[in-house]
Every structure is written in C-alpha cells, then in structure tokens.
C-alpha cells in the first residue's frame, strides 16, 4: 500500500511534519509511506498557468498523489485557516483530478488547545470539493506538551488516536481496492 503524507508546514522543526513521521513509524512494514512538504517552487495557482507539464514542481506533486493509494494531510492553522502553501498545492490538483475518489485522512495540530480545528474544518471542505473519499480526521491540541525534544509523540492517547486513524485509512483504501 502506498501512502502519501502531506505536511502543511514548511518549518524545519514542524510539529505537524513530526506527527507524519510518527505515523510513518506506526505504519506496517508493508506500507510505502512517503512524506511530502509542498515545494516552495510551486507557483501561485492561476488557471492561465495550468498547462500540461508547465512546472516540474507541480508535476511532481501530481504524480505523487496519482501513485498513492491513500493520502494523509497534517496541517497547522495560520490565521484561522489552512496555510497558503498547502491550499495552493491543493488548488493545483483541482483540474488534474488526482485527488478525485482518493481516500484522504485529515489532521491538524496546534500548540493551542483548539488544535487548529478551524483549519481542519476548512481543509475538509476543500477535500470535499476535490471529490476525496473521507478516511477520518483528527485535531490535536496542545501539541507542544505532547511531543519531546526529539520530536516524538509522548502522549499515549495521541499515539492511540494516530494508530486508529491510520487503521481507518488503510481500511478505506482496502475497501476501495477490493471494489
Ligand atoms: C500561527 N499559529 C496559529 N495557531 C492556531 O492554533 N491558530 C491560528 O490561527 C494560528 N495562526 C498563526 C499564524 C502565524 C503567522 C503563525 C506563524 C503561527 C501557531 C501555529 O499553530 C504554530 O506556530 C505551530 O507550531 C505551527 O505548526 P508547525 O510548523 O509546528 O507544524
């Protein structure tokens, strides 16, 4: 099974990317689990620019999504919304359709107790517009108290919730593959 994990943060010390790395470790050995942070070289989306093979950065993203059986997106909340980098990357997938009918699990994490829930709600709306198959969602609040200096999740409830989300995604993917 091929899982593509997309982070909404470009930060080196990102807690959201750290969550994806934890999920990578929790995934079965048979899972091909790739973590992707949106390439800053992806241009601002405009339909005028949306021509086949116009940008290597866009084609790389589109191929990664196309070749994945399932996708996990984990994002911070910026100003009550999805970071522009992630939203821009998703906008590039509208016309090409790689996310259409693709199982997607969505997460948000924040040092605030609200866990980036507004960004998560907005992300889920976007994923609906893109025609994805919902495969679970999770909002993680107070992330800074649940992660250590080595960027490992130390909170057992959070680890359990991540395991369950991964299992749900794998189940939705398996159901889709078996038709
Ligand atoms: C934030 N942060 C934030 N957090 C939140 O819960 N709601 C918000 O609206 C915002 N807005 C916001 C705007 C800007 C410009 C910054 C830089 C930060 C805090 C944010 O959740 C925090 O920096 C996270 O650690 C970012 O996620 P990563 O990079 O650790 O994955």
Contact 36, 90 (CB under 8 A): no
Q: Cβ–Cβ contacts within 10 Å for residue 151, how many?
A: 14
State in Å: Cα 110 to ligand 1 middle. Answer: 6
Domain 2-178, CATH: 3.40.50.360
Q: Is the C-beta atom of 144 inside 6 A of ligand 1? A: no
Please report the sign of the dihedral spanned by the C-alpha atoms of residue 84, residue 89, residue 93, residue 95.
positive
Q: Quote the DSSP letter at residue 47.
A: G
**Ligand 1 pocket: which of 73, 76, 117, 119 to mutate (most atoms <8 Å of CB)?**
76
Q: Is the C-beta atom of 80 inside 6 A of ligand 1? A: yes
* Residue 178 confidence (pLDDT): 86
Calculate helix-pair angle for 117-129, 84-91, nearest 10 degrees: 10
* Residue 121 confidence (pLDDT): 98
Per-residue pLDDT of the chain (179 residues; tens, 9 = 90+): 999 999 999 999 999 999 999 999 999 999 999 999 999 999 999 999 999 899 999 999 999 999 999 999 999 999 999 999 999 999 999 999 999 999 999 999 999 999 999 999 999 999 999 999 999 999 999 999 999 999 999 999 999 999 999 999 999 999 988 87
Cα-Cα-Cα-Cα torsion 86, 87, 88, 91, nearest 10 degrees, comes to 130
Residue nearest to atom 11 of ligand 1 (CA): 78
State in Å: Cα 30 to ligand 1 middle. Answer: 34
Structural domain boundaries in the chain = 2-178
CA 162 to chain centre: 13
* Residue 179 confidence (pLDDT): 77
State in Å: Cα 62 to ligand 1 middle. Answer: 27
Q: Is the C-beta atom of 75 inside 6 A of ligand 1? A: no
Q: Is the C-beta atom of 83 inside 6 A of ligand 1? A: no
* Residue 28 confidence (pLDDT): 93
Contact 75, 116 (CB under 8 A): yes
């Amino acid at each position: 099974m091929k899982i593509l994990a997309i982070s909404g943060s470009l930060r080196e010390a990102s807690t959201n990317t750290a969550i994806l790395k934890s999920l990578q470790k929790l995934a079965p050995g048979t899972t091909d689990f790739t973590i992707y942070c949106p390439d800053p070289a992806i241009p601002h989306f405009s339909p005028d620019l949306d021509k086949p093979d116009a940008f290597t950065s866009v084609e790389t993203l589109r191929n990664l999504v196309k070749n994945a059986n399932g996708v996990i997106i984990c994002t911070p909340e910026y100003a009550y919304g999805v970071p522009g980098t992630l939203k821009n990357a998703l906008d590039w997938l509208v016309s090409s359709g790689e996310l259409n009918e693709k199982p997607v699990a969505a997460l948000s994490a924040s040092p605030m107790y609200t866990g980036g829930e507004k960004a998560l709600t907005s992300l889920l709306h976007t994923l609906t517009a893109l025609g994805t198959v919902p495969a679970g969602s999770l909002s993680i609040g107070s992330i800074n108290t649940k992660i250590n200096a080595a960027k490992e999740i130390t909170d057992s409830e959070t680890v359990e919730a991540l395991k369950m989300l991964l299992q749900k995604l794998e189940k939705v993917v398996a159901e889709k593959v078996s038709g």
